[in-house]
Chains A and B, each alone.
Chain A
Amino acid sequence: MGLRTSRASIRLLLAVSATGLLAVAFSIFVATRSPASTQVVPSPLLGRVAPTTKGPLLGGGELSLDSLRGSMVLVSFYASWCPSCVQQEQQLVRFSQAESQGVKIVSIDFDDQDAAGLNFLRSAGASWPAISDPAGQIALSWGVDGPPETFLVSAGGKVITKVIGAASSKELLNLVALAQAKGYG
């Protein structure tokens, strides 16, 4: 009887300890995780050739991403109706000023009106080209959930990184440096 009771107690103790350990591990995971607003996240596109991206530019003309092969490209999805895109554009402007490796930036105006999208970029001080994507079909081919999202494309045209949320200029510079160190430049 005594033996049975002690066995039951040990089992109970083990079950409680295991549950406690799981709870602690989950808390640590949640506490140390970077906020969802800025995360480098997996994407089925990583390591693959970037989706065909071609369209009319806001303000006139046309651009194909293929024409930028040979340089690393930051493809940034934004919209004038997206509040955190304001911060994103400011950080991209800082990045473009600090960056010295010839990385190009292309914005994609997602599900937006052309005039509003162009005004938004100009007021942020952005001078790079922006492709109009009013029906969100370019965004769909890149697997964009919602702006702002940024992709780093290698000089060879492969998708290297996907960042969701408004990434800081420092984060972007670090990503470019890492990509170059790994030979993607």
Chain B
Amino acid sequence: MRLEDRVSHPKAFPKVTRSRLYWLSLAILAIGALLVAHIESSKTASGATQRIAVLEKSVKCPSCFGISVYDAHSAAAFSIKTYITNEVGANVSDAVILDNLVASYGTSVLMSPPTSGLSAILWFSPLILGAVVVYELFRSSRRRSPELRASLLRAPGSQAPSPSSNSFALSEVENPSVGIRSWVLVNPKGRRVTLVAGLSSLVGAALLAAFTLFSPTSPTTSSQGMSPVKAALLVDQGKKYALLGEEVLALREFSKVLRSNPHQPDALTYQGWLLYQAGVKDHSAALRYQGLIFLSEAVRLAPRYPDAHLFYGLALYGTDRDLQTSLAQLKEFFKEKPPQSLVSAASNQISAVYRAAGEQVPAIG
């Protein structure tokens, strides 16, 4: 090529091949997923409630099986939730909170393994696997037999390349896209390796994207498990059973909802109240406390839900005679303008708490 040609003709735009398109789309997908993850994580970092939720989701319930404390209702999970709430309230940093939990329980308490020591192998294994696949592709492509190379270069019916055109032909073969494509065409093992490599990349990218897009980042209830409509129907059914005195059937309905969505405030509230009442009936402190855990969770997740405040307040007064906290919950209940039917149904118990505190029950209007 002459010097003038080089100057007058700018460098040609790289040819768009299928393989280049594939790598480009994969790169765009990966960058997009990382961007979404970054945006989501910065969104959840704001606000104490969301910070608590994020921390609870990053800590594993030590007495459960593979679920975070956010989704768990065990005593140990309750302790960790209390600890996180207190520490966030005291403005302690996330790193210190997690470090303290790791100091007590070890790194196994974290939902994501740490990126140091032996655990680093877990993080880097996909990279190592990818590198192995790429190396294997490269190595296998180098192993192509010269006969196959030559046969690929010959069009049907054409002559074998002459020694004079050999340099051009070889340079074409060395072009990676042509080389790999031809290797894939003639080598069944190569097809398999390419298929595995391609599928692994696609599945990995899809998983990353799915994890980023669909991982729960805030304590919303609608996005998880069964539809809100179905959950509401089951809760209503449970309430009807409870009114008929069929506590076991009612608990079964609420449990169905909670299995699918552990943060459904209605189900948490009524499950908690039924457990508490069962505890009172059977003189079981364990059941009463279990009920209180559910109720406190409901109040935390749905601070504007009057039923949760009412039952939590009554249960607190009934369990520990904690008059001040109980009264505070009942005041929250009245602040949320509860339905008259609910106030009437619990009027005796509400009056007992207000009487003990020397205060008048607020009028509903």
Chain A interface residues (CB < 8 Å from chain B):
42-45, 51, 79-81, 110-113, 116, 135-137, 139-146
Contact = CB atoms under 8 A, between A and B. Distances in A.
A44 B239 CA distance: 46
A111 B103 contact: no
A143 B106 contact: yes
Contacts of A145: 62-63, 76, 105
B83 to A, nearest CB: 5
Contacts of A135: 79, 82
B106 A43 contact: yes
A140 B80 contact: yes
B79 A139 contact: yes
Contacts of A51: 104
Contacts of B83: 137, 140
Given A80-B285, A80-B286, A137-B83, A111 B106 contact: no
Contacts, number: 67
Nearest to A51: B104
A161 to B, nearest CB: 16
Which of the four size classes fits the interface of chain B? Answer: 20 to 34
B285 A113 contact: yes
Nearest to B79: A136
A142 B83 CA distance: 13
A39 to B, nearest CB: 15
Contact of B289 (A43, A113, A146): A113
Nearest to B100: A141
A124 to B, nearest CB: 16
Nearest to B74: A146
Nearest to B285: A116
A141 B104 contact: yes
Given A139-B76, A139-B79, A143-B109, 14 more contacts: A79-B75, A81-B284, A111-B75, A116-B285, A136-B76, A137-B82, A140-B79, A140-B80, A143-B62, A143-B106, A144-B62, A145-B76, A146-B63, A146-B76
Contacts of B289: 81, 111-113
A137 B74 contact: no
B320 interface: yes
B319 interface: yes
Nearest to B283: A116
Contacts of A142: 104
A140 B258 CA distance: 26
